[in-house]
Amino acid sequence: MRAFAVIVIAMLAAAAQSLAYAHHSFAAFDRNKKVVLVGVVKDFQWTNPHAWIQLEVQDAKGDKTEWGVECGSPNMMARTGWKKELLKPGDQVAVTVNPLLDGKPNGSLVSITLANGAVLGPGDAPPPKPLGSSSAR
């Protein structure tokens, strides 16, 4: 239980990180709301323009709901440490999402905590480099 609390705190910290999306409108998601889901990976679609995690989440009554979790694009994800092999069916993970406004079980990934404790975001731009740190021509 304590481990789970640590995970949630870590995820809330990660949730404060900004998002960077370019593909399309994210107006369908509630950017002001964050939902933490703990579940089992059913499928990981490492695809363009966005990767998707299908996550099976069990509630207190034992009822299961499958959530679709939309990530960034594989190029943006790869630049922030993601790999296709990072998630496999059966992996237990905790994710924070901005849920759909219409209440359906579908969210935009804010951050994920893997079974090994690693925390990743939805993918982002290349890490910035201050001017003067890379050699000129």
Indicate which single residue of 6, 9, 13, 23 sits in contact with other proteins (rule: CB under 8 A).
23
Residue 13: CB minimum distance to other proteins, A: 18
Q: Cβ-count burial of 16 within 10 angstroms (0-12 exposed, 13-18 middle, 19+ buried)?
A: exposed
Q: Are 37 and 112 in contact (CB under 8 A)?
A: no
**Which of 76, 94 has the CB closer to other proteins?**
76
Site for other proteins in 80-99 (CB under 8 A): none
Alpha helices in the chain (DSSP H): 2-15, 74-78
Contacts (Cβ under 8 Å, ≥6 apart) of 127: 79, 80
Sole window of 33-41, 57-65, 109-117, 125-133 interacting with other proteins (rule: CB under 8 A)? 125-133
Q: Which residues contact 17 (CB under 8 A, 6 or more apart)?
A: 110, 111, 121
In one letter, which amino acid is 31?
R
With contacts defined by CB under 8 A, name the span among 6-14, 19-27, 80-88, 110-118 that binds other proteins: 19-27
Binding site residues, other proteins, CB under 8 A: 18-28, 31, 45, 47-50, 52, 68, 70, 73-76, 78-79, 100, 102, 104, 106, 124-126, 128-129, 131-132, 134-137
